[in-house]
């Protein structure tokens, strides 16, 4: 129907498609998953990004809108993986953190940032069998982050989508969420792959 408002989720997918595709093309998972050492370096980078962004999402801005926001934290999983991969607690605290992440000062922006992190759980599901077969890692030893929600990943994604739709009901909020999601992809690409040429 002409003039119909697309869903918030569809709007985010459409708005972030170019930045998402650019990241997918630039990130070299073949080399990142080539050895336990290269995988560990990848997990260290992910930790540095989450350590910068996740505290903003855990600061209460999403609590009234996303009831299970506390269960969605990935830092504890990344830390568990790094400890299992031989990084001691002192070295973990000293890892570099991304300095250029979007601000999540309001719920719409926070939903946009969280959209990128939550979407990564779907990608983790596809990488998990590769890591198990190639590197011998498991949910219990080194791959808790990739396993994330386990069998509940689809349900968690659906609940996130429902909460997103519930909050981002008008075009202004959807635009705000899309802008934050795009900025999150751009920041993640720069952090993982370096600035684009």
Report how far residue 117's alpha carbon sits from residue 123's, in angstroms, rounded to the nearest whole number: 10
> What confidence score (pLDDT) does residue 5 get?
59
Task: Using alpha carbons, list the distances in angstroms from residue 108 to 61, 168, 173, 179, 195.
Answer: 9, 7, 6, 10, 27
| Residue 168: CB atoms within 10 Å | 25
Question: Are 32 and 39 in contact, with CB atoms under 8 Å apart?
Answer: yes
Question: Are 63 and 69 in contact, with CB atoms under 8 Å apart?
Answer: yes
CATH 1.20.910.10 matches 36-193: yes
Structural domain boundaries in the chain:
36-193
- Residue pLDDT, tens place only, 49-67: 999 999 999 889 999 999 9
- Residue pLDDT, tens place only, 152-185: 999 999 999 999 999 999 999 999 999 999 999 9
pTM, rounded to two decimals: 0.94
Report how far residue 166's alpha carbon sits from residue 119's, in angstroms, rounded to the nearest whole number: 18
Q: What percent of the chain has pLDDT over 90?
A: 91
pLDDT at 147 over 50: yes
């Amino acid at each position: 129907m002409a003039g119909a408002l697309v869903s918030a989720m569809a709007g985010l997918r459409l708005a972030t498609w170019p930045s998402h595709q650019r990241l997918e093309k630039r990130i070299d998972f073949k080399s990142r998953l080539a050895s336990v050492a290269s995988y560990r370096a990848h997990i260290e980078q992910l930790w540095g990004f989450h350590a910068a962004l996740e505290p903003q999402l855990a600061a209460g801005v999403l609590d009234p809108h996303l009831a299970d926001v506390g269960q969605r934290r990935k830092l504890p999983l990344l830390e568990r993986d790094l400890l299992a991969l031989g990084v001691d607690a002192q070295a973990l605290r000293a890892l570099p953190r991304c300095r250029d992440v979007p601000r999540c000062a309001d719920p719409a922006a926070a939903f946009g940032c969280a959209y990128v992190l939550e979407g990564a759980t779907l990608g983790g599901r596809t990488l998990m069998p590769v890591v198990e077969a190639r590197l011998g890692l498991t949910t219990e030893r080194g791959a808790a982050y990739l396993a994330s929600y386990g069998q509940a990943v689809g349900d968690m994604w659906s609940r996130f989508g429902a909460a997103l739709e519930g909050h981002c009901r008008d075009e202004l909020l959807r635009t705000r969420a899309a802008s934050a999601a795009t900025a999150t992809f751009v920041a993640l690409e720069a952090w993982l792959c370096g600035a684009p040429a």
